[in-house]
Amino acid sequence: MPAPAGVPATFQPGPTPLPASAVRKAEPLDEDTRGRLLQGAHHDPHAVLGAHRTEDGVLFRALRPYARSVTVTARGLRAELHDEGDGFFAGVLPLVAIPRRYRLLIAYQDAVVDTDDAYRFLPALGELDLHLIGEGRHEELWRALGAHPMTHDGVAGTRFTVWAPDAQGVRVAGDFNYWDGTAHAMRSLGGTGVWELFLPGVGEGALYKFDITRPDGSHTLRADPMARRTEAPPATASIVHASHHAWRDEEWMAGRGRRPVHEAPFSVYEVHLPSWRPGLTYRQLAEQLPAYVKDLGFTHVELMPVAEHPFGGSWGYQVTGFYAPTARLGTPDDFKHLVDALHRAGIGVLMDWVPAHFPRDDWALAEFDGRPLYEHHDPRRAAHPDWGTLEFDYGRPEVRNFLVANAVYWCEEFHIDGLRVDAVASMLYLDYSRGPGEWVPNAYGGRENLDAVAFLQEMNATVYRRCPGVVTVAEESTAWDGVTRATHLVGAGGFGGLGFGLKWNMGWMHDSLEYMVKEPVHRKYHHDRMTFSMVYAYSENYVLPISHDEVVHGKRSLVSKMPGDWWQRRADHRAYLGFMWAHPGKQLLFMGQEFAQGAEWSERHGPDWWLLDPSYAAEADHRGVRDLVRDLNHCYRATPALWERDTSPEGFAWVVGDAADDNVFAFLRFAADGSPLLSVSNFSPVVREGYRLGVPPAPPVWEECVNSDAERYGGSGVGNPGPVKTEAVPWHGRPSSVLLTLPPLATVWLRPTDSPAGV
């Protein structure tokens, strides 16, 4: 057999060999020990292999399948061990003490390997790490578990550690041992369920998995749950990784926590990286995405799940590598390069995080060590009813630790600015998508998943404590009380808040789209769909999302949802975005919707960028919508009234919310210093001349800052081009009013101006 890959095949002859008579045969291993080592079912191989003092000297034993001979070398020592069969080599040398350093010369059929003995090293994992892992409180778990290149006792190699408490034994298999882990059995470290082995000579780039002996004696080959790098799917091996990225975003990191997120401008461009520009790597994306997002004025990007996943059609929502950015687009350092580039362009980076479930792939987390481990032991709590996946056991401290540390990992190691937590509702309720008899009540007879509540509270508290300026966002679709309330504040339901910074407003999204899809003549019967959100607008800190979920699987793209001909659809699209950007809450828009893509999104080809090609006849129509989005963002960021009091009732006031017959909505937004912005939406195709709206007596003069019907956006050009004077005409319960022309199917923003008002 040739030498294993990645290990030097040259060596120095060394001193004169000891005569064979000086190397005594060792006491034979008992059959049970021998069998357990060969079967990978021994919990402490270091007690048998390596060097050990005996009454007669020092016993050396190695397990090297396929080797023809094994020779021990040290300073002044060279001795060939006796072949005990089945790959075992042993001998007792007449030594007083174990050599401080010794090596093994392993002769194969056509090569000789010169290596340190993996079984001469003490554990490379500290007692404090083990204590914290046992308690489920290791907030930097990725530094303790997984594969870590390091120098241990003066020798370069890799420390492998894995949590597998139900395993009879664990071995490391990889390209460095031809995927045969027989020679590399790991040791169990106390009662923590952690297995460890330092392998000298194995370094960055090595492929590996864990060969786990299940309780029933069968074997399973598993990817490392803590792998920081993986092969590109469909390959599934883990890769030994060490980061070499030098961050250059110090200015961004120092300033991101200066203003609370809910009191800051926050408009988000949602991106599916593999399909934004199909075929681009992380580094190529870094050359294009930051510039594009900055030009459009978005404050943040939100990346659909980046963690490794086997099936591209899941869009990343079925994760197998929770600690590894997907290798489809490059290495972990390549992904850091992209985040760095976005930060240096002044753009925050959110990422979708999926702690609600994981897939059943037999090389990943499912029954990892032969029994339910990461998933709940009760099938009624383990099987996710909607996606054919498994739910995490949030009540198990080590599993909770795996997830909490994972949230911290992305924020600290990759400088992620926010985590949008997917499918929170499915975590919170024991009866989520389950019928009678398919779920088990909690200890108090309720439907709340108390373990999941505790996990989310711990995750949020830990992230906010460790990572200043980071925001967590809940995709939570029910009326759970206190999603964005502090964890120590108990609500009416008896629970402390979940501790999120923001929550997706799914109610606003469904209601407003239900209104917009109606023909204008019917909208008056659904007027309350656009006003109801203000009834609960301050119950949580909200994000208004038009996400990927709303433009796939037959739901049509945003512009295609709108009624009427092409002009009316684009007009409605623009008016809706203007209404959305002015409404209390933060904004999120999925890629392609910023230029009114007509087709549904598909991960296979991404946005239809050809619509913006100047040679395309309708290019101006799509460019006009994108120009509006740019202007909305820039005006939004420059107008504190639109974001400074997003979570305060004092920041909003209806002017007219009951003009159902007119399809008109008008409201005021106020900054902390009281400066206002007036937003008026006319969702009818009729121009409304001389439309009077009540406003505060100050300011005396207003001017349009955004008009979605402007000709440059593809509109009809109706509006209020000059200064608009406040008149002392009481209206809508206010002492003053303005007289406006409302364009058809349009939203108009007006703000105070110092320009003199014309008559």
How many Å from the N-terminal Cα to the C-terminal Cα in the chain? 96
User: What is the rounded CA–CA span in Å between residue 46 and residue 104?
Assistant: 16
279-312 b/e with 16+ CB inside 10 Å = b? ebbbbebbeebbebbeebbbbbbbbbbbbbbbee
CA–CA distance, 572 with 558 (Å, rounded to integer): 10
Q: What DSSP character marks residue 375?
A: B
The single residue of 302, 475, 511, 572 carrying the catalytic annotation is 475
Give me 312's structure tokens: 């591209």
Tell me which residue has tokens 């040679």.
Answer: 615
- Rounded distance, CA 37 to CA 47, Å? 11
Do residues 232 and 281 make contact, with C-beta atoms less than 8 angstroms apart?
no
Torsion of CA 354, 355, 360, 364, to 10 degrees: 90
Residue 119, helix vs strand vs coil: helix
- Pairwise CA distance, residues 364 & 261, whole Å: 36
Question: Cis omega (within 30 of 0) on the bond before 234?
Answer: yes
Instruction: Give CB contacts under 8 A, 24+ apart, made by 109-113.
Output: 109/1, 109/2, 109/66, 109/68, 110/1, 110/2, 110/3, 111/2, 111/3, 111/9, 112/3, 112/9, 112/10, 112/11, 113/3, 113/4, 113/7, 113/8, 113/9
How far is the C-alpha of 138 from the C-alpha of 146, rounded, in Å?
14
What's the rounded Cα separation, in Å, for the pair 2 and 507?
A: 64
The C-alpha angle 92, 94, 97, rounded to 5 degrees, equals 95
Residues 6 or more apart in contact with residue 13 via CB below 8 angstroms: none
Q: How far is it, in rounded angstroms, from Cα 369 to Cα 288?
A: 43
Pair type for strands 418-421 and 471-474: parallel
H/E segment holding residue 348: strand 348-353
Say whether 216 is catalytic: no
**Whole-angstrom Cα distance, residue 305 to residue 420?**
9
749 Cβ contact list (under 8 Å, min separation 6): 578, 582, 635, 677, 678, 679, 680, 704, 705, 706, 707
Q: Note whether 289 and 655 are within 8 A (CB).
A: no
Which one is catalytic: 422, 476, 621, 704?
Answer: 422
Contact 307, 356 (CB under 8 A): no
250 given a catalytic annotation: no
Q: Are 108 and 61 in contact (CB under 8 A)?
A: no
Q: Who's near 231: CB < 8 A, 6+ residues apart?
A: 207, 237, 238, 239, 327
Q: Where are the alpha helices (DSSP H) in 583-729?
A: 619-637
Classify each residue of 28-48 as buried b or exposed e, where b means 16 or more C-beta atoms within 10 Å of its C-beta.
Answer: ebeeeebebbbbbbbbebbeb
112: β partners: 107
Give the residue numbers marked as catalytic: 422, 475
